Structure 1
């Protein structure tokens, strides 16, 4: 499974105001393992216009710095070759996809969706997992203990790398839980039964509200991995026999 974490920086917030892309970065992950740095895609782009003041304060990329960089049309083939057939993962995807589709449209190259397998919006994922909470990339880094101490200004490449770490935390490293061996329900039950002989277990049944919240969380994980999350793959544990001090 090939996934690409993608981010852009632009001259302003609204594509409708004639703003353009001035930086684009994409970080590759294959089978939930980040590729080496040489497999990253990163380009600064001459947008042919100044940045709005608010945008410049965010990314710090001046018109002078960008003046000798390539135009989007000069890097488009390399970009499309890098992202073709991959799942594209973006935080607040409508923003970046809107700008990319504008740039591709100017060149008569269609839309991003014509080239990639799918587009996943981690902002939507976060809102499903954390409704009513702040779900910016910075907020998610703090929530999942992702170190962003080296980030002073917003940059497309570092934001891609942070997003990759956040995404892995959000989807709970699903690849690593069943890589080589998953014990059967009988083996799990046997292991737990042996432990219960030396350390009594007190089992507290989940309430109906807790069960409903748990199902909602699993549904969100299913959406995140575009399939069935690992907790649905595991067979339910066999019921343990009643023992003294172990209410069922």
Structure 2
């Protein structure tokens, strides 16, 4: 499954008032793994950025004056997101601005070439998800980082690519999945709090073969009857039961399997 975690920055809060995109940042995941593919672009909005918006994201008119206009980056951006499930915090806001840009561009080109987003992409709103999981609590991206112990200390102002990267970590934490697993010995080693490199196997603890065995209490008569009834139900429905192929161990420490 291909997902694109996406964020935007804008000149104001409502595209119906003529506000435009000024930055887009996106991170690609496939099957919940980061692919390393990202999309990031500043955009000349062809209008002034409101002071309140600058206070949020820190992007000034001067910063984007020499950036390409949306028409120049639209096809590349569309190619990156088309067909993916877009994961966005407060999706109606970002999707509204993206669709507005596509509508303007299509009108300029004289035919509907790009968009709308919901017709060509899935859209998952993590703000809605967070409100369902944590009703009555603050569910801003900063609040979710704190709740899920995700480091966002480098985030002073909003930025589209940085917010998309943080949102990706938040989304994975919210949905309870492992973000990555590497068994490659060449993987970058971890660093402890003192700045010392740890080996790839550090933290893996082997059990002592001479450890005391766990005490396994015998089954009661009722438990044995319930167990046998369960096995018989499997035999009746499936025609066989793999349990029947297990050798009876001489002690709890000596289970064997016949082949």
**TM-score above 0.5, yes or no:** yes
1:197 Cα deviation after fit: 3.1
Q: Deviations over 1:58-109 (max 9, x none)?
A: 1111111101100011101001111111110000000000000100000113
Could you tell me which residue of structure 1 aligns to residue 31 of structure 2?
Answer: 31
Distance of aligned partners of 1:115 and 1:196 in 2 relative to their CA distance in 1, 3 Å threshold = farther
User: Is contact 2:172–2:179 with CA below 8 Å preserved after alignment?
Assistant: no
Q: What RMSD over aligned residues (CA atoms) do the two structures have, in Å? A: 1.8
Of Structure 1 and Structure 2, the greater helix share is in 1
Could you tell me which of 91, 94, 97 is aligned with 1:93? 91
- 1:152 maps onto 2:156 in alignment: yes
- 1:172 maps onto 2:176 in alignment: yes
TM-score (norm: length of structure 1): 0.69
Could you tell me which of 79, 82, 102 is aligned with 2:80? 82
Find the residue that maps to 1:146 and give its secondary structure.
coil
Find the residue that maps to 2:137 and give its secondary structure.
coil
User: Is contact 1:29–1:35 with CA below 8 Å preserved after alignment?
Assistant: yes
Identify unmatched segments of 5+ residues in structure 1.
Answer: 178-193, 199-248
User: Is contact 2:87–2:126 with CA below 8 Å preserved after alignment?
Assistant: yes
TM-score (norm: length of structure 2): 0.66
Aligned partners of 2:180 and 2:49: how far apart in 1?
Answer: 43
Larger Rg: 2
Aligned partners of 1:92 and 1:143: how far apart in 2?
Answer: 18
Q: How does 1:180-195 map to 2 (within 5 A)?
A: none
Aligned partners of 1:64 and 1:162: how far apart in 2?
Answer: 27
After TM superposition, the runs of 4+ consecutive aligned structure 1 residues lying more than 2 A away are 174-177, 194-198
Aligned partners of 1:149 and 1:155: how far apart in 2?
Answer: 13
The count of corresponding residues between Structure 1 and Structure 2 is 179
Aligned partners of 1:74 and 1:60: how far apart in 2?
Answer: 23
Aligned partners of 2:4 and 2:38: how far apart in 1?
Answer: 9
Find the residue that maps to 1:26 and give its secondary structure.
strand
Identify unmatched segments of 5+ residues in structure 2.
Answer: 107-113, 182-212, 218-259
Aligned partners of 2:101 and 2:38: how far apart in 1?
Answer: 21
Could you tell me which residue of structure 2 aligns to residue 20 of structure 1?
Answer: 20
User: Is contact 2:26–2:38 with CA below 8 Å preserved after alignment?
Assistant: yes
Could you tell me which residue of structure 2 aligns to residue 8 of structure 1?
Answer: 8
Find the residue that maps to 2:68 and give its secondary structure.
coil
Distance of aligned partners of 1:33 and 1:176 in 2 relative to their CA distance in 1, 3 Å threshold = closer
Aligned partners of 2:215 and 2:174: how far apart in 1?
Answer: 33
More divergent stretch after superposition (101-110 vs 142-151): 101-110
Could you tell me which residue of structure 2 aligns to residue 115 of structure 1?
Answer: 120
Distance of aligned partners of 1:141 and 1:175 in 2 relative to their CA distance in 1, 3 Å threshold = closer
